Amino acid sequence: MNPEIAPDIGADLVIYRFAGGSIDSVGSPVGGRGTGEEHIMVWKVIGIVVVALIAFWILGALIEALLPVLVIAAIGTGLYLLYKAVSGADDKAPLIKP
């Protein structure tokens, strides 16, 4: 094959058209048989979606399990601070011991 002569792209168009595919605006084959890399990319995308769903599921379970504990801790802290404020115990005690 002579490198000075441009390859004939018309034959490629006929082959892709015959295989049931088409050529998009940049000349890449669309549809047709492909190389198999498209299937690998689809499985990668499906894998990422599945991993994201599992991560959200685990995060939701952790939040559901820890939320009551956090609420009880916040209520307990609030009641303790309220008791200290109302009782007035050790009001004259310094904040930092010498």
| pLDDT at residue 16 in the model | 47
Q: Does some domain include residue 5?
A: no
Q: Does some domain include residue 49?
A: yes
Q: Does some domain include residue 56?
A: yes
For 3-89, where are the E strands, in sequence order? 22-23, 29-30
Q: Does some domain include residue 3?
A: no
Q: Which residues, 6+ apart, have CB-to-CB distance to 23 below 8 Å?
A: 13, 16, 29, 30
Indicate if the pLDDT at residue 84 is higher than 70.
yes
Q: What is the pLDDT of residues 31-71, one digit of tens each?
A: 555 566 777 889 999 999 999 999 999 999 999 999 999 99
Residue 19, beta-bridge partner list: none
Q: What is the pLDDT of residues 38-47, one digit of tens each?
A: 778 899 999 9
| pLDDT at residue 91 in the model | 60
Amino acid identity of residue 43, one-letter, is W
* Domains identified in the chain, total number: 1
Residue 41's domain comprises: 10-87
Pairwise CA distance, residues 13 & 21, whole Å: 9
Q: Does some domain include residue 81?
A: yes
Indicate if the pLDDT at residue 87 is higher than 70.
yes
